[in-house]
Structure 1
Amino acid sequence: MTADFSEIRRNEHLPARIASHIGREIAEGRISPGDRLPTEHLLAKTFGVSRSVVREAIAQLRNEGLVETRQGVGAFVLGPQGRGSIRIEQTALRDPETFRSLFQLRMPLEIEAAGLAAIHHDDTDLKKLDDALARMTGAEKWTDQGIVADLAFHRALATATHNEYFLLFIGFIAERISLAINAARAAAILEEIVEATIAEHVAIRDAMVTRDPMLARAAMRSHLIGAAARLELTLDIF
């Protein structure tokens, strides 16, 4: 069977759409276990997107346990025995209750991650956070690249916990929450939503630098409550 890759429409978050497309090709047998995915350059050209978008899509597939990446070699499809058991299709999250439940899961995970990151982060972790913030606040903050940077920030914070399982689960959820970022941008005045989101991320970064876990937890809690409110989600908050 032959994989069917074609240019992706831009009506949803691009990395998630590309990951979903490749995931279907794997599920339907057009890409077999052990196969190497096309190079980033070729995928970017085929889908009509940038290489950074392709990298985000492959990261999502890796978080889902569909592929493994080998440094300097590429991404390879895993067989069923090597895959993780967690998989949520983007289409399932169009159900409001399913989406609310996933967003609810962010609260304990990301609040705890912020506290651990405050304690355990090193200079490399801080640079990754600052790089993501620079992209969030730069000229591309109004575009899809601003969303990519937002997700990169959350993954960098998860990495700063120095607990690989936080990165695994938060990375997985962050990709799904890309729908939330798009929805929030569509439901409000773009300038207001972007500036509020940036301010919340700066507060998280600044709190983490103090190495005060309670301060970092409070900043993340405030961000998640704000993000939920912008989506008109009713969460159980204690």
Structure 2
Amino acid sequence: MPPTLSGALVATLRRRIVEGDIAPGEKLPSEAALAVEHQVSRTVVREAIARLNLEGLVHTRRGSGSYALAPPAGDGEDVPVARSLEDRLGLVDFRLGVETQAAALAAERRSDAHLDALAVRLRDLDGAQGHPATAMQHDFAFHRLVAEAAQNRYLLDALDRLGPQMIAMPRGRLDRATGPGSGSDDGAPARFAAVVQEHRAILDALADRDALAAAAAMRVHLAGSRRRLLAEAGGD
């Protein structure tokens, strides 16, 4: 049985997102542009976008457009994709166990080179406000470096298998992609500043070689991620 028009468009857009042609955080072409490009009606485009939303590959903001989310790591069979709010909260729970321990170990085992690399990632994250795809990559890289500094290959492998999708960023932080004057969330800059400060507290604790403070800072950060997810869900 041949695919429907909307099914064919879903397959095309899904492939572009998974292969990175449309990067996480990048805005998809408008309904009208997609309709012209693929020679289908706007109703077909809306159906395709709705399916991609359900798959967790796209997030649509009313009045702003649709944005690509991070695709699953690997082949998608071994690593479950965090699609629903429940999935994302469950992922934060998992990270609380893994990354709190990683931070404690990193405080004891980190090198000066690790600290230098983390400082660079923090600086880049701080400078990425308004660029959600870039911010997500720097955010993930920071957390991966903490796991690397822990010098435990199982912790590092856990983060590598999850990939950037583990960062609870795309849905809420995509509000900033709308830009000034276009209906963006007025509270987004403050939330972004809080995220940066939480990362800075982790780095400070690692620099002090304080395992308890590092674990606490990571826990505070991930608890903040949980709180922001719930706030975003309540505001939609």
Per the shorter chain, which TM-score range?
Answer: 0.5 to 0.7
Alignment of 1:194-233 (within 5 A): 194-232=192-230
1:9 positional shift: 4.0
Alignment of 1:168-183 (within 5 A): 168-178=157-167, 180-183=168-171
CA RMSD of aligned residues (A): 2.7
Matched, 1:136 2:125: yes
Cα distance per residue 1:44-93 (max 9 Å; x no partner): xxxxxxxxxxxx98xx85xx4x6xxxxxxxxxxxxxxxxx973223xxx2
Checking the alignment, whether the CA contact within 8 Å between 1:102 and 1:173 is kept in structure 2 is no
Matched, 1:149 2:138: yes
1:165 and 1:99, CA in 2 relative to 1: closer, same or farther beyond 3 A?
A: same
Aligned to 2:79, the other structure's residue is in SS state: coil
Once the two structures are aligned, what percentage of the paired residues are identical? 29
Matched, 1:86 2:75: no
Checking the alignment, whether the CA contact within 8 Å between 1:136 and 1:198 is kept in structure 2 is yes
1:171 positional shift: 2.9
Task: Give the alignment's TM-score, normalised by structure 1.
Answer: 0.60
One-letter code aligned to 2:171: A
Give the counterpart of 1:161 among 137, 140, 150: 150
One-letter code aligned to 1:124: A
1:122 positional shift: 0.4
CA distance in 1, matches of 2:109, 2:22: 41
Give the unaligned 5+ runs of structure 1: 15-55, 67-83, 234-238
Cα distance per residue 1:94-134 (max 9 Å; x no partner): 22322222221011101000000000000221122111111
Give the counterpart of 1:123 among 94, 108, 112: 112
CA distance in 2, matches of 1:224, 1:125: 21
One-letter code aligned to 1:201: H
One-letter code aligned to 1:185: R
Give the counterpart of 2:89 among 100, 124, 131: 100
1:205 and 1:174, CA in 2 relative to 1: closer, same or farther beyond 3 A?
A: farther
Aligned to 2:230, the other structure's residue is in SS state: coil
Checking the alignment, whether the CA contact within 8 Å between 1:136 and 1:150 is kept in structure 2 is yes
Aligned residues: 161
2:8 is matched with: none
Checking the alignment, whether the CA contact within 8 Å between 1:118 and 1:207 is kept in structure 2 is yes
1:191 is matched with: 189
1:177 positional shift: 2.2
Alignment of 1:64-83 (within 5 A): 64=74
Aligned to 1:211, the other structure's residue is in SS state: coil
Task: Give the alignment's TM-score, normalised by structure 2.
Answer: 0.60
Checking the alignment, whether the CA contact within 8 Å between 1:208 and 1:216 is kept in structure 2 is yes
One-letter code aligned to 1:215: A
Alignment of 1:38-49 (within 5 A): none
1:50 is matched with: none
Cα distance per residue 1:127-182 (max 9 Å; x no partner): 221111110122x332021221111100010100011111110233352223x212
Aligned to 1:124, the other structure's residue is in SS state: helix
Aligned to 2:156, the other structure's residue is in SS state: helix
- Select the structure of larger CA radius of gyration: 2
